[in-house]
Amino acid sequence: MKSHAKVVVIGGGVVGCSVLFHLARHGWTDVVLLERDELTSGSTWHAAGGMHTINGDPNVAKLQKYTINLYKEIEELSGQATGVHLTGGVLLAATEARLDWLRGVVAKGRYLGIELEEISPNEAAELMPLLDPKQFVGAVRNKEDGHLDPSGVTHAYAKAARKLGAEVERFTKVEDIVRRVDGLWRVITNKGEVVAEHVVNAGGLWAREVGRMVGLELPVLAMEHMYLITEDMPEVAAWNAKTGTEIIHAVDFDGELYLRQERGGMLMGTYEKANKPWSEYQTPWNFGHELLAPDIDRIAPSLEVGFRHFPAFQNTGIKQIINGPFTFAPDGNPLVGPVRGLPGFWVACGVMAGFSQGGGVGLALSNWMIEGDPGADIWAMDVARYGDWATMAYTNAKVRENYSRRFSIRFPNEELPAGRPLKTTPVYDLLSAKGAQWGVAYGLEVPLWYAPEGVKDEFSWRRSSDFTQIAKEVATVRDGVGLSEISSFAKYKVTGEGAAAWLDRMLACKLPKPGRMTLAPMLKEDGRLIGDFTLANLGPLDRDGEGWFLAGSGIAEQYHMRWFEKHLPDDGSVRIEALGAKLTGLSIAGPKARDVLAKATRSDVSNAAFPFMAIGRMDIGMAPCLVGRVSYTGDLGYEMWVAPEYQRAAFQALMAAGEEFGIGLFGSRALNALRLEKNYGSWGREYRPIYGPLEAGLDRFVAYGKEADFIGKAAALTERKQGGKLRLRAFIVDADDADVIGDEPIWFDGAVRGWVTSGGYAHHSKKSVAVGYVPKEIADESDGFEIELLGKRHAARMQATPLFDANFERMRA
Ligand SMILES: Cc1cc2nc3c(=O)[nH]c(=O)nc-3n(C[C@H](O)[C@H](O)[C@H](O)COP(=O)(O)OP(=O)(O)OC[C@H]3O[C@@H](n4cnc5c(N)ncnc54)[C@H](O)[C@@H]3O)c2cc1C
């Protein structure tokens, strides 16, 4: 075994071998994979080997497509058969709600280049002869569905990597990992030590244990999973003889089943509701090639449905039941990327669909390690989407929920209950008493809307029970004044003598003067967005000396801290702190907002003394607050930041002051309706690391000419010169009873040309709004667009100026 390597990859399952292959293919050949046993000694060997392109997140779906297309290449490179059978498949719907969901999947496929086609149950039965068409209302055909040999694929990755110069050390168990003072990693094994610049945790079933070696508690949990294999079936033999082809794959969502041919019989797997975690606290090191005891009672309810939906199963015997464990993150997507606070330590774990996702994970991670960027939008897989709040108990609750819902529909207005409430702010009970319906963002409970007595969310793809109430909340803001809780924003404090110069380099905007705020896009080296913030210069206002305040997307706190910390100078001249729950927030907005604030404070908040984008310290009632004159509602408004111990007092002072002005509460759904009619984008939707500032319409906040050489400046100047490829645009949709959610295709002139990033109903303007990206060549057309919604194309008109307050008179008043 070599004593030094650029990279040590820990784990020889399908994921570790894919990472090794991709590193070597990308040019890093001084890489070694350490496997404690034979390759495939974790989940990989007993997998059912199914693969498909469908994923709830379009960016993950793209990587799944990449993975499936890769098998041919690694087979040729390695000479190792992968056993790929691209049979195609049918996705089956037994209810109308499921069919609506499938239509959304077909629609997304159009711009992802995934060929999907809606077919009738009878057409599905012609393709998959075992199903009873009477049990279904519709289906979708997917040509990129199939199965493979799990061991063959893993060995093909490993052999191809070796051919490119990588090394694989089997029977080499990593026992400890220690960071040296020079930043290199000592990887200590039962056969000696390797010193490496980078370590990749691809430990699969043992990823938690490998993480613990560096003090990391990863949010992953293994679940038992069962599939059965039948005796040979005459129906299968007859079909094979008649068509000369295998029986195609089927996913029966309502039965929570997946099926495929296995030799002369069938394989049927299920994600049962009464699921069971495996080794909740500690995966035993002596586990390897054994299977778990099957428990047919647990899967019996699913099998009953299966036998009804696929009647031929009633006449066949079960040859074998496989029960094996594999790991999940709380939301079921992988955990990939560099770990904040551990430079050179990377993870590639929690991969629950290794044969659909392993290739994409390897590609993204190798790009990230070698180029400094994953090269794709992989937010849905980024390990930074979780923070310290994703504890072991939280993970346990969420993984079990996610497993039991693997094939369930999640409606756009559906909030999942497991692991909640976890983080709450001091006004939680006060808002609950007013009818707050809660959602969750980065572990924190956030008020979505306020339900009148006896009304609650009815889950639907269409406008639902909250529609009338959201209209009222919007009217409260636009016609008078509304109050909302805004603690879910991420808040950062930047201090130190080097702070201004550092921010000037990190952010693409011009730095504001003391007491002022600005919108602040943050770019990567390739000139694309990596953040958008409100930056405030606290200057003399800051009690600890010169300081800066940043507010940004709450879900991206860890993501942004990882980026900030990577770029901090070593000399300690700049300090940045994520304030998290140390600072809570309230906001008031609407034409009467200033009247309320003036009544609640002794400070002068007149337009002359406290104009748009001013920031200052003032007491609200008795509570000391930092108040900024800005509002995401696009109206006259204020954001107030307050230490949690004062949040209730500030809330009560504002509500009391607002009484005579008719103050009411509004939640994040109303806020969405308000920001849409102002064309305001949001991080994670409109603003993502694949778009440039010009494309995203944030170029007006980029100080291209400023002296500081901000990160991404050269690339941003090129984008400005060459015009980029896309443009973010708002559309008014001729919708009937449903509005866009996000990820719907935008048609122009009979072809799919773009995609929706978000939208909804703008209650004040009484318009259904969609926001999305289209190629710049058609970005100035006003008509001819259509947006596909629940399987139907709706006419859409481009809306160039904001529907509300296009001249910014209200917010600057
Ligand atoms: C019953 C069942 C059916 C499944 N069906 C499918 C399917 O149809 N399609 C699909 O895509 N996925 C399926 N899966 C899931 C799939 O198996 C996983 O997604 C995949 O195997 C994860 O691979 P991995 O490399 O991350 O982890 P693992 O396969 O667990 O590999 C981790 C490796 O790391 C090694 N290791 C760990 N710690 C150390 C250490 N300290 N030192 C050295 N080596 C170490 C282990 O020995 C192991 O070989 C199924 C899983 C099960 C259990």
d(CA 566, CA 563): 5
Q: What is the DSSP letter of 707?
A: S
For ligand 1, atom 37, the nearest C-alpha belongs to 203
What is the 189 CA–ligand 1 centroid distance (Å)? 20
Q: What pLDDT is stored for residue 9 in this prediction?
A: 98
Buried b (16+ CB within 10 A) or exposed e, 551-571: bbbbbbbbbbbbbbeeebeee
Q: Which of 43, 285, 298 to mutate to test the pocket of ligand 1 (most atoms within 8 A of CB)?
A: 43
**Got the DSSP string for 60-119?**
HHHHHHHHHHHHHHHHHHH------B---EEEEESSHHHHHHHHHHHHHHHHHT--EEEE
Residue ID of nearest Cα to ligand 1 atom 4: 47
Q: How far is the CA of 592 from the centre of ligand 1 (A)?
A: 59
Which amino acid residue places its CA nearest to atom 18 of ligand 1?
A: 354
Q: Name the residue with tokens 């090794």.
A: 20
Q: Is 173 exposed, middle or buried (0-12, 13-18, 19+ CB in 10 A)?
A: middle
Distance 219 CA to ligand 1 centre (A): 16
Ligand 1 geometric centre to CA of 338 (Å): 20
| Predicted TM-score of the model (pTM) | 0.96
Q: Are the C-beta atoms of residues 461 and 644 closer than 8 Å to each other? A: no
Centroid of ligand 1 to alpha carbon of 688 (angstroms): 31
Report whether 744 contacts 107 (CB < 8 A): yes
Q: Are strands 335-338 and 257-262 parallel, antiparallel or unpaired?
A: unpaired
* Distance between start and end Cα atoms, the chain: 71
Written as six digits, the tokens of 695 are 């494309």
Chain segment 501-545, per-residue pLDDT in tens: 999 999 999 999 999 999 999 999 999 999 999 999 998 655 656
What pLDDT is stored for residue 290 in this prediction?
86
How much is the pLDDT for 546?
62
Whole-angstrom CA distances from 394 to 52, 221, 397, 400 are 29, 11, 5, 10
Task: Give the Å distance between the CA of 488 and the centre of ligand 1.
Answer: 35
Alpha carbons 208 and 113: distance in angstroms, whole number:
36
CA distance 153 to 82: 5
Q: Which long-range contacts (CB under 8 A, 24 or more apart) does 207-210 make?
A: 207/11, 207/327, 207/335, 207/347, 207/349, 207/350, 208/282, 208/283, 209/282, 209/283, 209/285, 210/10, 210/11, 210/174, 210/177
Task: Name the β-bridge partners of 193.
Answer: 188
- 36 close to 175: Cβ distance less than 8 angstroms: no
Closest residue by CA, ligand 1 atom 32: 204
As a 3-state breakdown, the chain gives helix, strand, coil percent values, each rounded to 5, of 30, 30, 40
* 454 torsion bin: left (phi>0), alpha (psi -120 to 50), beta (else): left
Residue 697: which region, alpha, beta or left (left: phi > 0; alpha: psi -120 to 50)? left
Ligand 1 pocket at CB < 6 A: 10-16, 34-37, 41-44, 46-51, 173-174, 202-206, 210, 225, 227, 322, 324-326, 349, 351-356
Give distance in angstroms: CA of 349 to centre of ligand 1: 9
> Residue whose CA is closest, atom 34 of ligand 1?
11
Atom of ligand 1 nearest to the CA of 34: 43
DSSP, collapsed to helix, strand or coil, labels residue 366 as helix
Centroid of ligand 1 to alpha carbon of 366 (angstroms): 19
Say how far apart CA 350 and CA 332 lie, in whole Å.
Answer: 8
Main-chain dihedrals φ then ψ at residue 313, nearest 5 degrees: -65, -20
| DSSP conformation letters of 532-568 | EEEEEE-GGG-TTSSEEEEEE-GGGHHHHHHHHHHT-
Residue 544: what pLDDT? 59
Omega within 30 of 0 (cis) for the link into 644: no
Collect the ranges in the chain with pLDDT lower than 50.
none
Q: How far is the CA of 48 from the centre of ligand 1 (A)?
A: 12
Atom number in ligand 1 closest to CA 258: 8
C-alpha angle 39/40/46, rounded to 5°?
160
SS3 650: helix
> Which of 326, 345, 351, 352 is the best mutation target for the ligand 1 pocket, counting ligand atoms within 8 Å of the beta carbon and taking the most?
326
In 3D space, the residue among 276, 271, 321, 278 whose CA is nearest the CA of residue 296 turns out to be 321
Ligand 1 centroid from CA 294, angstroms: 19
Q: Name 17's Cβ contacts closer than 8 Å, sequence gap at least 6.
A: 33, 39, 154, 155, 157, 158, 161
Ligand 1 pocket: which of 206, 249, 292 to mutate (most atoms <8 Å of CB)? Answer: 206
Rounded CA gap, 254 and 407, in Å?
Answer: 7
Tokens of 811: 């917010």
Distance CA 236, CA 74 (A): 31
Q: How far is the CA of 57 from the centre of ligand 1 (A)?
A: 22
Atom of ligand 1 nearest to the CA of 352: 19
